[in-house]
Structure 1
Amino acid sequence: MSTNKLILGVLGGVAIGALAGILLAPDKGTKTRRKILKKGNDYTQDLKNKFEDLYNKTSKKFDAVIDKAEDLATDHSVK
């Protein structure tokens, strides 16, 4: 299983568990809706941050591979 699928699975499970806990808690409907909205926003931001981190790491690795390929191409064309 890839790391991305694992992260998404864990976040999904946490979100479902939090949602179930909020829905089953004995609060008024307005309070419950606010809690759901806040948790949803928190999870959305967390997921966005994780994807941004993944994108940045992947971009850096891709750029390093391109630089290495350009260096190798330059070395072979000089010889």
Structure 2
Amino acid sequence: MNTATLERPLAAVAAEEASAFRSLDLQFSTADEMHEGLDNAVATLIETATEASCGILVTRLHPGRYTVAVDETVPFGETYESIAA
């Protein structure tokens, strides 16, 4: 199961709506879902990050739970990963 709990499931996000997203909160139950879901979330936020001239931060909140966000502290064109303490 991969869902964007702050917004809507990623599959339901239309391309023209993607630029409205600054972050997505995701929860997964398997590793396969996690890899696909994180790839989709980053792809969804690329346009917004490009418009903001910054990068994307993927944060692991706890096992199976992630936040993917446009972040001004990440250099343009890059994606960083972090683990919340």
TM-score scaled by length of structure 2 = 0.30
TM-score scaled by length of structure 1 = 0.32
User: Which structure dedicates a bigger proportion of its chain to helix?
Assistant: 1
User: Which structure dedicates a bigger proportion of its chain to strand?
Assistant: 2
